[in-house]
């Protein structure tokens, strides 16, 4: 039986070899690319406008600035590519500033006076040093950079950038029984994001830690609160005024470090029955964003929505 198996394998292998040899001797299939003729004509490259960012990167930044141990990715701005150069210049924060800390961003569209890039390529400050350090730009190239900034610092697609502005957010919530100043937002059972317990027939002062990158909390717009017994249904709930304080109330934030609270609301639990679960949402607007910020929103994680809720005992 063993000899028979070996004989069968030899026959199969031999057949495979013969079949491969026959295929190798057959003519190759028709290749349509063999009929093409190529000439030596080359398409002329399209040269970018010297006043555009593509031209500025090609003729200036990549040649004179993206040098070893300089702006080659070693530190910002990063001039290795058009994208990295643009993203580390326009509305990019300044790290090494002037003596009077005049500059905030490396490039501000339409404004050369407050664009740090313009200052660095024109300064006569010997300590600060004009950029590039070993190859100062001619007036023509300085003017091209100025033209690009003054015309909106457009990207390679011709779009004027918009400074991103985050919407208001929050850093904590604290609640006290008004008559006793007893803190109740920490009474959440076995999870710090469970609804907290409040006593019935009492007034509970709930403070909301809201902050914004530009607008101070007392100056935020809207400043409303809605309370609902349904997790996701707030459309029919009345919008009630938050109490605004201009002198902050300091209380613990998420990290237990005291933080300034400016907005609060006093809930009368006599309006609810024992066992009622009440969800809360705060509404503010910072003036830079057109839409009102809802905290938490329908799209917030469920644990944040339960964190902003209480149960009447």
Q: Do residues 177 and 203 make contact, with C-beta atoms less than 8 angstroms apart?
A: yes
Integer angstrom CA distances of residue 64 from 61, 115, 123, 132: 6, 20, 17, 7
Q: Do residues 225 and 242 make contact, with C-beta atoms less than 8 angstroms apart?
A: yes
Q: Do residues 287 and 217 make contact, with C-beta atoms less than 8 angstroms apart?
A: no
Q: What is the pTM of this model?
A: 0.55
Q: For residue range 189-238, what is the model confidence (pLDDT) as tens digits?
A: 999 999 999 999 999 999 999 999 888 999 999 999 999 999 889 999 99
Give the pairing of strands 169-177 and 277-285. Answer: unpaired
Nearest residue to 209 via CA among 176, 167, 266, 248:
248
Report d(CA 60, CA 12) in Å as an integer: 68
Q: Do residues 103 and 94 make contact, with C-beta atoms less than 8 angstroms apart?
A: yes
pLDDT-derived band at 43, boundaries 50, 70, 90: low
Q: Do residues 21 and 27 make contact, with C-beta atoms less than 8 angstroms apart?
A: no
Token match 């003519």: residue?
27
pLDDT-derived band at 32, boundaries 50, 70, 90: confident
* 3-state SS assignment for residue 216: coil
Query: What are the φ and ψ backbone dihedral angles of 127, each rounded to 5 degrees?
Result: -75, -45
């Amino acid at each position: 039986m063993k000899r028979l198996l070996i004989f069968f394998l030899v026959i199969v292998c031999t057949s495979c070899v013969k079949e491969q040899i026959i295929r190798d001797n057959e003519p190759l299939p028709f290749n349509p690319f063999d009929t093409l003729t190529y000439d030596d004509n080359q398409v002329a490259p399209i040269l970018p406008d010297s006043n555009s960012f593509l031209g500025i990167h090609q003729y200036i930044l990549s040649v004179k600035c993206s040098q070893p141990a300089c702006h080659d990715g070693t530190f910002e701005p990063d001039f290795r590519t058009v994208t990295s150069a643009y993203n580390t210049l326009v509305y990019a924060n300044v790290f090494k500033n002037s003596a009077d800390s005049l500059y905030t961003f490396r490039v501000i569209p339409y404004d050369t006076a407050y664009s740090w890039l313009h200052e660095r390529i024109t300064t006569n400050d010997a300590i600060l040093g004009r950029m590039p350090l070993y190859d100062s730009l001619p007036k023509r190239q300085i003017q091209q950079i100025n033209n690009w900034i003054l015309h909106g610092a457009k990207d390679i697609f011709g779009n004027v950038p918009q400074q991103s502005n985050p919407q208001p957010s929050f850093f904590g919530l604290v609640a006290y029984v008004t008559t006793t100043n007893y803190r109740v937002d920490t009474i959440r059972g076995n999870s710090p994001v469970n609804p907290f317990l409040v006593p019935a027939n009492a007034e509970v002062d709930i403070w909301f830690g809201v902050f914004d990158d530009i607008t101070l909390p007392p100056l935020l717009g809207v400043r409303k609160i809605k309370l609902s017994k349904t997790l996701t249904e707030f459309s029919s709930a009345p919008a009630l005024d938050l109490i605004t304080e201009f002198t902050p109330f300091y209380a613990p934030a998420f990290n237990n470090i005291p933080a300034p609270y400016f907005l609060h609301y006093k809930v009368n639990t006599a309006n609810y029955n024992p066992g009622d679960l009440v969800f809360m949402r705060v509404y503010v607007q910072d003036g830079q964003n057109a839409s009102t910020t809802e905290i938490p929103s329908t799209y917030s994680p469920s644990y944040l929505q339960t964190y902003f809720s209480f149960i009447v005992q």
